[in-house]
Structure 1
Amino acid sequence: MTTATTMNAALSAEQRERLMEFAREVSFEVGDRLFEEGGRADRFWIVRTGTVALDLHVPDRQPAAVETLGHGELIGWSWHFPPYHWHLGAEAMSPVRAWEFDAEAVRALCADDPEFGRAIAVWVGLVVADRLHASRIRLLDLYAPHGSGEWV
């Protein structure tokens, strides 16, 4: 399930429109870092075009890419959970155009409108669950004797 699919499943059309009122268009060049692991998570993005790699800090090495995200995908979920620090890093792998959102403003709207806040929480939760599932499958592919197969 993609972020766009989960967003459409979690937010009504009116809620999506409300969220988009906070969007501003941004772009990143190849190699631009969107954020660093451990940094302050004060914004998030939805990719319009291009690809972004999520990566993990590895001491004395280049960051290890753990997932690549593209069109319609949510970049960043750490902004939604205290203490609001990035759990991963992110780098543009191609030219990227995205909608950027101020996390504090969106969290304030969530606090003011509990129904909207619940919908955002469901959306972000679905994204986190989907990425956790994808990570588990990748681990099985790496370490299981016969690969991941299909989960039922």
Structure 2
Amino acid sequence: MTSTTTLTAALPAGHRERLTRIAREVSVDEGTRLFDEGRRADRFWIIRTGTVTLDLRVPGRRAAVIESLGHGELVGWSWLFPPHRWHLGAEAMSPVRAWEFDADTVRAMGAQDPEFGRAVAHWVGNVAARRLHATRVRLLDLYGPCGSGSRL
């Protein structure tokens, strides 16, 4: 986890407070799939407690676990970018407590307040870039002839 990807570090206090006002507290049982690659991305979560793994389907193989997420981290970024389809899958590896957000509501808030929208887009964009890099490194580690030569 890097400081620029957590909600606390990524958004100014006012934007963070606005976002958390619309959050819904949820509990997710261990082993529950939060979402599957390719399905409609209509919400996202910020983990309060527990662990969620991100995975990627690999043809002819089991899904590859890309990254484990914990306290304060964003689960799901595909909701912000059209066509709003999940790029990865996610599963609760332990009981999880999280804040859940409705994607349509957050996108509408960003459209009404461009400064808020830019801050959220910047935060989510940083998370997406970090996750794409982690995906590349993990797949090279798993399937490359000599691995990636890099560790996150």
Identity %: 69
Alignment of 1:1-150 (within 5 A): 1-2=1-2, 5-59=5-59, 61-139=61-139, 141=141, 143=144, 144=146, 147-148=149-150
CA deviations 1:24-57 (Å, max 9, x no partner) are 1001111101111111100000001111111122
SS at 1:98's partner residue?
A: strand
Q: What's the Cα RMSD here? A: 2.3
Change (3 A) 1:102 1:67: same
Structure 1: 4+ residue segments shifted above 6 A: none
SS at 1:122's partner residue?
A: helix
- Comparing 56-65 with 113-122, greater Cα deviation is found at 56-65
Distance in 1 between residues matched to 2:70 and 2:35, nearest whole Å: 16
The Cα of 1:116 is off from its aligned counterpart by 0.2
Which TM-score applies when normalising by structure 1? 0.86
Distance in 2 between residues matched to 1:23 and 1:140, nearest whole Å: 36
Distance in 1 between residues matched to 2:3 and 2:26, nearest whole Å: 19
1:78–1:86 Cα contact (<8 Å) kept: yes
Ranges in structure 1 where 5+ consecutive residues have no aligned partner = none
Change (3 A) 1:146 1:139: closer
Which TM-score applies when normalising by structure 2? 0.86
Number of residue pairs matched by the alignment: 150
The Cα of 1:137 is off from its aligned counterpart by 3.6
Change (3 A) 1:139 1:37: closer
Distance in 2 between residues matched to 1:135 and 1:63, nearest whole Å: 12
1:53–1:90 Cα contact (<8 Å) kept: yes
Change (3 A) 1:145 1:48: closer
The Cα of 1:104 is off from its aligned counterpart by 0.3
- Comparing 118-127 with 4-13, greater Cα deviation is found at 4-13
Ranges in structure 2 where 5+ consecutive residues have no aligned partner = none
Counterpart code for 1:39: R
Distance in 2 between residues matched to 1:108 and 1:45, nearest whole Å: 17
